[in-house]
Structure 1
C-alpha cells in the first residue's frame, strides 16, 4: 500500500518540476504518518485482543471458583442445619415448665456439644486478580456491579461470622475450663474427673453458662446459615450471568 501512495506522489511531483522536491518531501511525510497510523492500529487491535482473552479466561476461572464454592456450601449446609436444630431442641427442653436441674445437668454433661466449625475457605484469587489488574472495569456495568456487590456482601457476612466466632470461642474456653462433657469421644475425660467436676456445682452458674453459650451458638449458626445461603443462591445467579456474558461477547 505504501508503494501505491509513493507512485502517486512521484507522478504529482514530476508534473511540476519547481515543486518536485517539496512534493516529494511532503509525500514522504504523508507515507510515514500513514505507516505509523497503520502500525498503531494493528498494535491497538493486538492489545485489545490480548485484553479480551485475559477477561474471558478470568471469567471462566471465576465461574470455576463459584462452582467449587457451591459444592462446598452444599456439603456444609446440612451440618449447619442439623446442629442448629439440635441446639434449639436443647434450649427448648430447658425452657419447658417441667424442666428441672437434672434436665440441665443431663444436657450439659452428656448432650451439649460446644464445638464449632471453621468457615469455608472460599477461593477469591480470581476475583482479587480482576480487581488488582483493573480487568473488572472492562466488563459491562451490569456484570461488574453484580460481581462487586456479591463479593462485598459475602465478605461483610463472613466478617460478621468471624467476629461472632471469636466471641463464641471465648465462651467455650470458659465453659471447658469449668465443666466436663462427654458428648464427643475426643473430650471424654474419664469417670473420675467427670464425677469430681460435677459433684458440687453451682446450679446458677451452670444455668447462666448454658444460656450464654447456647445463645451464642444460636447466633453463630444463624449468621453462618445466612452467609452460606446467600453465597449459594447468589453464586448460582452470578454463574448464569457470566455464562450469558461469555456467550454474547465471545461466541
Structure 2
C-alpha cells in the first residue's frame, strides 16, 4: 500500500515537473513569436520609412525644378504683358497714327510666347499608380492632389487659349508678309504686298494683341496659383519627419 502511494506521489511530481516544462516551452515559443513579429514590424516600418524618404526626395527635386521653370516663365510673360499694355496705351493716345507705324509694330511685335508649363510629374504619377501615396499623412496627401488638380487645370485652359492665339498668329502670317515694306517703292516689296489689304493691318494687329494679352494674363493667373500650391507642398515635404 505504501509503495503504491509513493509511486503515485512520484508520478504526480513528475507530471507537475513536465507540465511546468511544457508551460515554459510554450512561453518561450510565444515570446519568440512576439519578438519575431516585432522585428518583422520594425523591418517593415523601416522599409516604408526608407521608401517614403525616397519619394520625398524625388518630389522635392521635381517641385523645385518646377518652381525654377515657373518663375522664369512668369518673369518673361509679365514683361510681355507690360509691353502689350504699353502698346495699347500708345494706340489710345494716337501715337500709331499711320500705316507705317502699324507696319513697324507688326514687324517688331509679332513674336512667339510661352504660355504653358511642362511639369515634372513622374514621381507623383509613380506615387499614385503604386498606391504608396498612403505613406504620407492626410494633410500632405490632400495638398499633393490639389497641386495635381491645379496643374491639370492650367494645362487644359492654356492649351485652349494657346490654340486660339495660334489661329490669330496664323491669320496674320497668311495675310501679311513678314518681310518687305508695303510702303517702300522697291519693286520686290511691292510685289510681295501687291494683293494685301494693307489698310486692315491696324485692326488685325490690335485684335491679335488683345488675344495675346488675354492669353498671357490668364497664363499668369493660373500659373501663380500653381506656384503658390507648389511652394506649399514643398514646405510640407521638407517638414515631414524633420
| TM-score normalised by L of structure 2 | 0.76
Alignment of 1:42-191 (within 5 A): 42-96=39-93, 99-102=96-99, 103-108=101-106, 110-117=107-114, 119-181=116-178
Give the C-alpha shift of residue 235 in structure 1: 2.5
Of stretches 205-214 and 30-39 in structure 1, the one that deviates more from structure 2 is 30-39
Of stretches 235-244 and 98-107 in structure 1, the one that deviates more from structure 2 is 98-107
Give the C-alpha shift of residue 43 in structure 1: 2.2
Indicate how the Cα distance of structure 1 residues 197 and 44 shifts in structure 2: closer, same or farther if over 3 A, else same. same
Among candidates 226, 232, 237, match of residue 237 of structure 1: 232
Q: What CA deviation, in whole Å up to 9, does each residue of 1:184-236 have, x standing for no partner?
A: xxxxxxx7664434455435643442233222211221122123323333322
Query: What does residue 3 of structure 1 align with?
Result: none
Give the C-alpha shift of residue 37 in structure 1: 4.6
CA distance in 2 between counterparts of 1:14 and 1:63 reads 70
Quick check: which has more Rg, 1 or 2?
Answer: 2
Q: Are the aligned partners of 1:73 and 1:232 in contact in 2 as well (CA < 8 Å)?
A: yes
Give the C-alpha shift of residue 237 in structure 1: 2.5
CA distance in 2 between counterparts of 1:192 and 1:40 reads 91
Q: How many residues align?
A: 226
Indicate how the Cα distance of structure 1 residues 192 and 85 shifts in structure 2: closer, same or farther if over 3 A, else same. farther
Q: Are the aligned partners of 1:158 and 1:227 in contact in 2 as well (CA < 8 Å)?
A: no
RMSD: 3.3
Q: Are the aligned partners of 2:70 and 2:223 in contact in 1 as well (CA < 8 Å)?
A: yes
Runs of at least 5 residues in structure 2 that lack an aligned partner in the other structure:
1-10, 181-185
| TM-score normalised by L of structure 1 | 0.74
Runs of at least 5 residues in structure 1 that lack an aligned partner in the other structure:
1-12, 184-190
Indicate how the Cα distance of structure 1 residues 31 and 93 shifts in structure 2: closer, same or farther if over 3 A, else same. same
Give the C-alpha shift of residue 90 in structure 1: 2.4
Q: SS at 2:178's partner residue?
A: coil
CA distance in 2 between counterparts of 1:155 and 1:15 reads 79
Query: What does residue 188 of structure 1 align with?
Result: none
Q: Are the aligned partners of 2:115 and 2:215 in contact in 1 as well (CA < 8 Å)?
A: no
Query: What does residue 246 of structure 1 align with?
Result: 241
